[in-house]
A and B are shown apart, each in its own frame.
Chain A
Amino acid sequence: MKTIAPMQAERLFTPFLDAVDGTLCLPASATFADIHAQAAAHRLRFPLIVDAAATLREQVAAATHAPASCRFGPYCDNLLGINWRLPSGRLVRIGERVVKTTTGYDWLRFLLHSGRRFGEPVDYVLRLRPDCGFHLEARLDGDITALRDCVRRLMHSGWMHWWDAVDFLAEGAAFSVRVAIHCPPDEAPIFAAQLSCIASETHTRLTLQDNPPPSFDGLPDVVVKTTPDRAIGLACELARDAVRCVALCYNGVVHVHLNVGEDVAERAHTLMQPHLGELHALGGDWHSRWLPATPPTVTESQWIETLEQAIHGS
């Protein structure tokens, strides 16, 4: 086969909305309203939002998952491509506008949550989902044993694929479970019946709300990644000291929201210190948007140095 000459310039994404593929390219400074304004006209939506006012760049920097990651996976599975500004100021395209790729090493997922250590995102390509036109939000209340049972019932059946979110909310000693559903209006009674059944069997109190106004938890101050079976316990424990915790049950993620005005760095370290051993043993982690990243280990410093040489050489 003849040799193909290398490209002389970078390919970059230009803003687009592909209604057939359900993909949208827009600036990293876009907010929920910007996305909604473009997607809704085509009956599409981007479900992974944690804060209505924050930019996408801020959301991705603050959190790896959103409540709707229960159904759609983390940000890195829903952001298909990026235009990335290297420290030199030059732009490169990382990733694709299509949903599958095995073309080259996966810099996209590596860079997405790397903070600004290797540059910064300029534009994102989002994977949108069909907007079915109806939201249902369920609240389940009860004692902690009943709520744990309830979450187990929600997750350990084929229904689990269809909950947009199954979140365990902990604030001090007050707990509840929140379930988000997005479906065509005619399917809402089917979901409601299943939720009623689970509430009845687990002795929890169910409150349903049709098409509630969009509400978001806000950017978390600390994000912890553990296994799904440990998320509720961790949320309960952290909530004793923190203000509010939201456990994204299937993802094993706990979003911790601290008091405004607190010394976040000090509080975050104090909160997480007792859990580090277990988190690392499980291959979990934690981070805070307020704190610099953990220093690299000696081994990875060598790998990082090689990557940085390539990045700074660009």
Chain B
Amino acid sequence: MNKSALSTQLKRLLPRGRVLDSPAQLAGYASDALGYKSYQPDAVVIPADAEELVGFMKGARQLGVPVILRGAGTSLSGGPVAAQGGVIVHTSGLKRIREINVEGFWCEVECGVGLNALDAELKPHGVFYPPDPSSGPVCTLGGNVASNAGGAHCFRYGVTSNYVLGVEVILLDGSVHRFGGPAGGRGPWREDWKRFMIGSEGTLGAFTRFWLRLLPLPEKVWTFRATYPDLRSIEAAIHALVAHSSYPAAIELLDPRGVAMVESSQMAVGLPKGSFMLLTEIDGPAALVNARVEPVAQALRQAGSSDVVFSDEDAMRQKLWKARKAAGGLLGQLSPDYVVQDAVIPKSALAEVLQLVYDEADAAGIRAVNIFHAGDGNLHPNFLFDSRVPGDLEKVEIISERLMRRVIEVGGTLSGEHGIGNDKAAYMPLVFGPDSMRLQWAVPAAFNPSHQLNPLKVFGNRRFAA
């Protein structure tokens, strides 16, 4: 189908929504948050509401083109991009918070609701939704559920899949199914189908709404920042915190290259050169959490830090977080392009795998900065490069493959919270043997056998043949 005919068909399917088809409009949808790979879609549709999304999905099969669901496009793995061309469905029109049920600790939201927008609505009710990816100000819950998003406070609170009670999904035949609901069970189904839907990266169906589990807001938060002279001592600090009775909510690490990046920028906060920075938080009722402050500070000092700062005041806490939060933004300023990996490893392998990152990157002449969720062993090595320089991206891909091979050898996994998308699909044969690969393939075979939904994602050979 040529693009003009496609646009005409799409406008019929979305009488109230929008169809974007000019090159300038489509350019904004050509990549995700990383932007080093670009895939121009044939068109973008913005359904006005859930009803119109259902109508679109009913007609999508006849269009004979790939269909890609997209929230805010903040993916870091090439998830919501038109890797095989086709139509991107932008879900920004589905942004109603339909119910907040404080007594039942749940809320019902549409897939285009922004994460921080939900938190702002929940706060006056004294409850919160814990997953907190750093894209919170812009990302949508649809994207979060599709990629099983995590965040800094997952160490204690867990990831998105821990909080999804139910999902409503439209399949490619236009049928609408509700898996679970406020009670978080199976509903009338024999099997718990929502488990496959969460983290399915838009490859099984289109989400319309979710039922999410809530928790009471913590009364008080203490933030600690400590610096360490070497990897051995910060590793000791991480191990001490992981086993600590205060159950920290977050344990974050910025390596010396990240510290240097922050300190040589306008966001400098006075961290010692060459140091590792550790950030941790404890929260709870004041009577309880105040009693835990000194034991946590003591644990940080005993691991080898002479620079432990902590506070329960909002302004000071923001200052303590500043270097960690600034580092992510600075990457984009320092380098035209960067790739961030998302491997999770047993924490006992932390020093060895970090050293591998440094050695490989240094040998290839690629800058590497590590900013990551140390408590979970969730590495985020950022490889800075320039995609206009011939061979740079290839170097990063070689380093990444060596890293992933070692990650699997030490018992880790490819991705902890970003999803596989298009960027990491090539590594999947490192993880699954013949039988487990057959199981993996059975899931899209059941719900989206033609791979019309988000082709070339999760498994690189998921190609749509019209």
Contacts and interface: CB of A to CB of B under 8 A. Distances in A.
A43 interface: yes
A3 B430 CA distance: 11
**Which size bracket describes the interface of B in this complex?**
35 or more
Interface stretch (B269-277, B300-308, B417-425): B417-425
A77 B429 contact: no
A147 B355 CA distance: 56
Contact of A10 (B158, B413, B426, B435): B435
Contacts of A261: none
Interface in B180-235: 180-193, 195-196, 198-200, 211, 215-220
Contacts of B110: none
Contacts of B154: 100
A252 B184 contact: yes
Given A98-B413, A105-B196, A283 B445 contact: no
Interface in B360-418: 376-378, 397, 401, 408, 411-418
Contacts of B431: 11, 103-104
A225 B166 CA distance: 13
A115 B414 CA distance: 29
Contacts, number: 286
Interface stretch (A136-144, A170-178, A182-190, A203-211): A182-190
A104 B444 CA distance: 11
B348 A314 contact: no
A176 B181 CA distance: 29
B218 A306 contact: no
A93 B346 contact: no
A5 B429 contact: yes
A23 B419 CA distance: 23
A253 to B, nearest CB: 9
Contact of A285 (B187, B426, B429, B441): B187
B265 interface: no
B298 interface: no
B285 A159 contact: yes
Given A98-B346, A103-B431, A299-B177, A92 B436 contact: yes
A310 B442 contact: yes
Given A8-B434, A303-B193, A18 B346 contact: yes
Contacts of B436: 10, 92-94
A86 interface: yes
Nearest to B433: A10
B181 to A, nearest CB: 2
B147 to A, nearest CB: 6
A194 interface: yes
A105 B458 CA distance: 9
A103 B414 contact: yes
Nearest to A250: B105
A63 B102 CA distance: 26
A274 interface: no
Interface string A105-123: 1110110011000000000
Interface string A220-232: 0000011111100
Contacts of A240: none
B161 interface: yes
Contacts of B215: 160-161
Given A158-B218, A303-B447, A283 B288 contact: no
Contacts of B105: 155, 227-229, 250
A102 B420 CA distance: 7
A187 B288 contact: yes
B296 interface: no
B376 to A, nearest CB: 5
B329 interface: no
A37 B327 CA distance: 44
A87 to B, nearest CB: 11
Contacts of A229: 101, 103-105
Given A101-B413, A102-B417, 14 more contacts: A7-B430, A9-B433, A11-B431, A98-B344, A101-B416, A106-B148, A106-B195, A157-B219, A162-B288, A187-B245, A190-B287, A283-B179, A300-B191, A303-B447
